[in-house]
Structures are given as C-alpha cells and as structure tokens.
Amino acid sequence: MTAEPEPDPTQRPDRRIEDDLRALERDQDHLHQVEAELERDQTRLEHDLRQHPRPRHDHDVEMNYRPLTLHGQRLTGLQIKEQAIAAGIPHIQPNFHLTVERAGHDAEHTVGDDEEWTVHDGDCFTAVKPDDNS
C-alpha cells in the first residue's frame, strides 16, 4: 500500500479540500461503473439460468415395488436405503442388501453401502435381509 504524500504546508486548506472532493467524486464514479457491471452480470446470469435450468436431482424410482422419490443424483447404497426408510417404505433396515435394475435393462446390480450409484428415473431398487435368499 502506498503512503499518502505529506500535505504541502504552503498549500491552502481550501485547495486540499477541493482535491479531496475531486478524488471522492472519481471514486464515486468508479463505484457506479462497478455497480452497473454487476447489474448487467446479474441480468445475464438470470437469463442464462432461465434458458438452461439446473438439472433436476429428484428421481422417481421404486423401492421394493413401492414408489419413492430419491433426492440427489449420486447416492451411496446406504443413502438410498436411508431415504427409503425416512420416506416410510416398510420392511427396510440399513443393513439390508440393495440391488437395482435400471429401467429398460434386464441385469440387476448390487449396490454396496459405500458405492455411489447415479440415480435415474425408473430405477427399481430391492432391499432384502442379508440372510434372505429370495
């Protein structure tokens, strides 16, 4: 930071006041320019958001043949089970095994508690007791 120059003792006080006022006016003009730029940026961002909305992260799926809305795009197996339990899907515990069948695919996939799964609408999850062989 630069130090302010020492006032010239020969300069009249009213001259220094005028210089200070001019400096304040320049600062005020600069602030108005920055404010106008920010308003333009905000308008541009609002327009872009309307044209390109953020992706929806609520997904309509099934859990044990019951409808469920999962909140989030990438969830671990444990998070999926916790959301199902919180939503009132019966007969599910956090230690249950979780499998998923993606809509339009025949293969099932086991989702581990720590494994992240990219959730899509129409995914069909099944949670069963660890010792259930059905």
pLDDT at position 3: 66
CATH code, domain with 66: 3.10.20.30
pLDDT at position 8: 64
Q: Are residues 33 and 79 in the same domain?
A: no
Q: Are residues 78 and 90 in the same domain?
A: yes
pLDDT at position 115: 96
The answer to whether position 72 is within a domain reads yes
Query: What domain range is 28 assigned to?
Result: 12-54
Determine the average pLDDT of the residues in 62-70: 96
Q: Are residues 86 and 72 in the same domain?
A: yes
The answer to whether position 86 is within a domain reads yes
pLDDT of 75-125, one tens digit each? 999 999 999 999 999 999 999 999 999 877 778 899 999 999 999 999 999
pLDDT at position 132: 63
pLDDT of 1-53, one tens digit each? 566 667 666 667 778 888 888 999 999 999 999 999 999 999 988 888 788 76
Per-residue tokens: 33: 């320019």
Q: Are residues 118 and 62 in the same domain?
A: yes
Q: Are residues 23 and 38 in the same domain?
A: yes
Number of C-beta neighbours around residue 129 at 10 A: 13
Best CA proximity match to 111, nearest among 88, 60, 84, 77: 77
Measured CA to CA, the distance from residue 38 to residue 98 in angstroms comes to 49
Q: Are residues 77 and 23 in the same domain?
A: no
